[in-house]
Amino acid sequence: MRIALLGGTGDIGQGLALRWAYDTNHEVLIGSRDPERAREKAEEYETELDSRGVDSEIQGFANEMAADRAAVVVAAVPAYHLVDTVEAVADRLGDAVLVSPAVGMKRDDDGLHYNRPGAGSVTALAAEAAPEDVPVVGAFHNLAAGRLADLDASFEWDTLLVGDDEDAKGIVADLAEGIEGLRALDAGGLANAAEVESVTPLLINVARENDGFHDLGVRFE
């Protein structure tokens, strides 16, 4: 399957790109507002994979071009760029599934807090910005980007999927479980996204407050 990572030059995009290229046969496209930057990062990822004996072909494009070519489009951008990014590629999505991993957070002296948008969740913002017939799935919210992007690191994490289109959710679940150590769990409809997104600041707070804990993910058991 061909997967476009809009904002694939950022930290979560890098992690997903490297893991899919390393663990699966999916074709990964790196998107960026700056196509030259996308090409540079795609080459950097290829070099990293090549050093591990994996002959991958990762290409870089402007976000619109990446979205145009893919069956699954992951908006791997910060929450404050999400709406702009989705709107910019809206007429290129075709039959693609749009995946939203972004979380809004604000920091104060106590740590990070979930910054719930008026739409109810950041995933709901993505759904509002997307064309009505494009299924939106929230996923990959709670992955520690640093550990994900370090192919020497392993994990046993869950990723929680929210969305109102069960077929689309099934496609994203299969993509997620292609990554070694990642288990996809269904957290229900889009309306359940806020509780999923809230886990991200919690993971960062727990890592900050406990010695020896860093780059945390979560496991339901």
Which residues contact a second copy (rule: CB under 8 A)?
108, 110-111, 113-114, 155-157, 160, 185-192, 194-196, 198-199, 201-203, 205-206, 208-210, 213, 216-221
- The least distance separating a second copy from the CB of residue 83, rounded to whole angstroms, comes to 23
The nearer residue to a second copy, 73 or 216, going by C-beta atoms, is 216
- The least distance separating a second copy from the CB of residue 206, rounded to whole angstroms, comes to 5
The nearer residue to a second copy, 20 or 157, going by C-beta atoms, is 157
The nearer residue to a second copy, 38 or 216, going by C-beta atoms, is 216
- The least distance separating a second copy from the CB of residue 144, rounded to whole angstroms, comes to 10
Q: For residues 170 and 173, give the distance between their C-alpha atoms in angstroms, rounded to a whole number.
A: 5
- The least distance separating a second copy from the CB of residue 105, rounded to whole angstroms, comes to 10
Structure tokens that stand for 12 in this block: 């979560």
**What SS3 class is residue 175?**
helix
Burial class (CB in 10 A: 0-12, 13-18, 19+), 81: middle
DSSP-derived pairing of the beta strands 27-32 and 59-62: parallel
Q: For residues 115 and 101, give the distance between their C-alpha atoms in angstroms, rounded to a whole number.
A: 15
Cβ neighbours, 10 Å, residue 53? 6
Burial class (CB in 10 A: 0-12, 13-18, 19+), 183: middle
The nearer residue to a second copy, 156 or 180, going by C-beta atoms, is 156
DSSP state of 71: S
Comparing CA positions, the residue from 46, 44, 66 lying closest to residue 56 is 46
The nearer residue to a second copy, 87 or 213, going by C-beta atoms, is 213
- The least distance separating a second copy from the CB of residue 203, rounded to whole angstroms, comes to 7
| φ, ψ dihedrals at 132, nearest 5° | -60, -30
DSSP state of 7: T
The nearer residue to a second copy, 151 or 202, going by C-beta atoms, is 202
- The least distance separating a second copy from the CB of residue 137, rounded to whole angstroms, comes to 14
- The least distance separating a second copy from the CB of residue 209, rounded to whole angstroms, comes to 4
The nearer residue to a second copy, 87 or 185, going by C-beta atoms, is 185
**Quick one: which H or E segment has residue 61?**
strand 59-62
